[in-house]
Amino acid sequence: MSEKLLLRFEDVSTDLSDIDNYVSDGGYETARAALRDRSPGEIVEAVKDSGLRGRGGAGFPTGLKWTFVPKGTGKPVYLLCNADESEPGTFKDRQILEHDPHQLIESMIISAYAIGCIDAYIYIRGEFSTGYETLCRAVADAYAKGFLGKGIFGGDTEVNIHVHRGAGAYICGEETGLIESIEGKRAHPRNKPPFPAVYGVFGCPTIVNNVETLSCVKHIIERGADWFKSIGPESGPGPKLYGVSGHVKKPGVFELPMGTSLRELIEVHAGGLRDGRKLKAVIPGGSSVPVLRADEIDINMDFDSVAKAGSMLGSAGVIVMDDSTDMVAVLRRISHFYHHESCGQCTPCREGTGWLEKILARIEEGHGTPADLEKLDSVAKSMMGTTVCVLSDAAAMPVRSFLDKFRDEFTAAVSGASGRGGESARAVA
């Protein structure tokens, strides 16, 4: 796939965040035509037919999710765009938010029309100040052109977009945490069911979709479901944004067909490892997913293939580690993060994440014992499937997989002769 769609801004010479440039490039024509020529039901069908699966982490079929909105409740329907981009290793949505926000807005107009939503929100993480400002300007410009508000494109559809800025809390990426946050609360995830499609924000039917997921909608409507299906595997096709970071020569976000091989991503697109270094480990989908060893990277990066290899595509944030990496130190960072970010409402997660970090700190600083490894494993096990949301599982999965895949390193670290300690060990204390 040589032509870029989601990252079109890389291919054109003008600044697409400027509405006039975006319009000259053919922008908003797809939304205009869709609202004029197609019924909401036809759009839902097209998205369903395209096989688009959610890019936020879980890979749920988007069209199917949209059909869960109950009809005739008399309540408003809300569309929430998840721009929290909070999973460590993920920095893909930011590209769209900062460089091509109108692609997202146009897609949201079509999506809102399809599900019968008048008021849509974009929840953007507080840290993305540039993205926030760009987005606010883009939304204002779209109103000024009559692409948002009442009677858009001269028809009788009304769609409003509100931009809601987060303020630093990972858990707001979880869809029900995000909903609570928009309602002006602490972002404590809700028990499901009821699912947001039935009982979401302000007690109304709500669809939550990721930035990249929604951005695909415009292209599906423009080029057709068959075109979309022709890219990548049948079980979850389409163009995909992969973020590669860590010990590679050219870290960045790459738009490639779903199912591109992990080896190609690292060796070709990200320029391979730094000189003189060998690959040690790769986390393929954001820091919460199980780690892969260097000999496990001949896999295709799509939902089902990565799952078959024992990990998850997640948010497709690929973190590459070379042979200089201290796996104990990396795991401690990861555990520190989840401990810091647990919302605190469920005991296994609140206490478990604390224990994981404490034990790993001890091991990294050279005071661990072999019993600590068993403890890590049993604490992690007790955290899975026992809480309101899956942050707890997200914290436990890396621990179990690091212990499993890099057992020798952990065993050596608790052997007493590890020579551990020092400045780096204290850095996250």
Ligand X SMILES: Cc1cc2nc3c(=O)[nH]c(=O)nc-3n(C[C@H](O)[C@H](O)[C@H](O)COP(=O)(O)O)c2cc1C
Q: Which is nearer to another protein, 52 or 172 (CB)?
A: 172
Whether 110 contacts 34, CB under 8 Å: yes
- Rank residues 93 and 365 by Cβ distance to ligand X and give the closer one: 93
In order of 10, 11, 148, 173, 321, the CA distances from 16 in angstroms are 10, 11, 18, 27, 34
Q: Report the C-alpha gap between 43 and 109 in whole angstroms.
A: 12
Decide: is 97 part of the binding site for ligand X (CB under 6 A). no
Kindly state whether residue 161 participates in binding ligand FES, applying the rule CB under 6 A.
no
Q: Does 189 bind ligand FES (CB under 6 A)?
A: yes
Binding mask of the shown chain, residues 161 to 180, with x at each position contacting another protein by CB under 8 A: -x-xxxxxxx----------
Residue 393: is it exposed, middle or buried by C-beta count within 10 angstroms (0-12/13-18/19+)? middle
Assess 240 for contact with another protein (CB under 8 A).
Answer: no
Characterise 374 by phi-psi region: left (phi > 0), alpha (psi -120 to 50), beta (else).
Answer: alpha
56 is an interface residue for ligand X by CB under 6 A: yes
Q: Give the helix/strand (H/E) hosting 198.
A: none
Kindly state the smallest distance separating residue 288's Cβ from ligand X, in Å. Answer: 7
Say what angle helices 40-50 and 101-115 make with each other, to 10 degrees: 120
HSE-CB at 371 with a 13 A cutoff on CA atoms is: 0
Give helix then strand counts, H and E, for the chain.
18, 9
At closest approach, how far in Å is the CB of 22 from ligand X?
A: 23
Under rule CB under 6 A, how many of the chain's residues touch ligand FES? Answer: 13
Q: With binding defined as CB under 8 A, does residue 88 bind another protein?
A: yes
How many angstroms from the chain centroid is the CA of residue 420? 35
Nearer to another protein, 166 or 348 (CB): 166
Asked if 117 touches another protein (CB under 8 A), the answer is no
Q: Is the C-alpha dihedral spanning 318, 323, 329, 331 positive or negative?
A: positive
Interaction between residue 356 and ligand FES (CB under 6 A): no
Site string for ligand X, 358-397 (x = CB under 6 A): -------------------------------xxx--x---
Looking only at the bridges linking them, the beta strands covering 117-124 and 77-83 are parallel
Give the C-alpha separation, 107 to 51, whole Å: 17
> Contact between 395 and ligand FES (CB under 6 A)?
no
Count residues near ligand X (CB under 6 A). Answer: 24
Query: Which amino acid, residue 54?
Result: G
Binding mask 142-181 for ligand X (x = CB under 6 A): -----------------------------x-xxx------
Nearest in space to 176 (alpha carbons), one of 191, 161, 198, 165: 191
Would you tell me which residues interact with another protein (CB under 8 A)? 76, 85-86, 88-91, 94, 119, 125-130, 162, 164-170, 181-187, 202, 243-247, 251-253, 283, 287, 317, 319, 321, 325, 329-330, 333-334, 336-337, 340-344, 350, 423-424, 427-428
Would you tell me which residues interact with ligand FES (CB under 6 A)? 171, 188-189, 342-343, 345-346, 349, 387-389, 391-392
Would you tell me which residues interact with ligand X (CB under 6 A)? 54-58, 60, 62, 82, 84-87, 171, 173-175, 208-210, 213, 389-391, 394
